[in-house]
Amino acid sequence: MTAKMRFSLKAGERIFINGAVLTVSQKVTLSLLNDARFLLESHVLQLAEATTPMRQLYFVVQSLLINPQEEEKGMIAFRNMLRGVSMVTTDEHAKSQLERVEGFVTAGRTFEALKVIRTLFEVPESSATPQPAIASGKAA
């Protein structure tokens, strides 16, 4: 079987795979041989870092990936957060990227959605006050 995804982890590093948190005691290279929902620790945004609407959206999508057992609640939070972020975003490129994010999340391609959202972290957002972060999901 050919590896679909291959990556290396350092000692003590964590990875989230299909809702499970794994940690390694020594440097290791992993190969995922089938489709799996995963997130590397380096891509995990902590709740305290979700300080802008775009980062809050990332946190919600990340929670969908990390906590698949809470997908129904997570999708409600995602739709609400996406609606809010879309309302405060004035940049047309960012708005079109948010439509892509919606398509990815709806199709179950949350990792791709996270990649798109990360590119939008530096996009100037309106001067609206950031919405409170969703506290029901835990990042790590």
Residues 38, 49 within the same domain: no
Residues 63, 98 within the same domain: yes
Residues 86, 52 within the same domain: yes
For residue 118, pLDDT beyond 80: yes
Residues 81, 51 within the same domain: yes
Mean pLDDT of 34-42: 82
Task: Name the burial class of residue 66, with classes exposed (0-12), middle (13-18) and buried (19+) by CB atoms within 10 angstroms of its CB.
Answer: buried
Provide the residue range defining the domain that includes 13.
5-42
Distance separating alpha carbons of residues 124 and 39, to the nearest angstrom: 26
pLDDT of residue 129: 39
Residues 88, 28 within the same domain: no
User: How many domains, in total, are found in the chain?
Assistant: 2
pTM of structure: 0.76
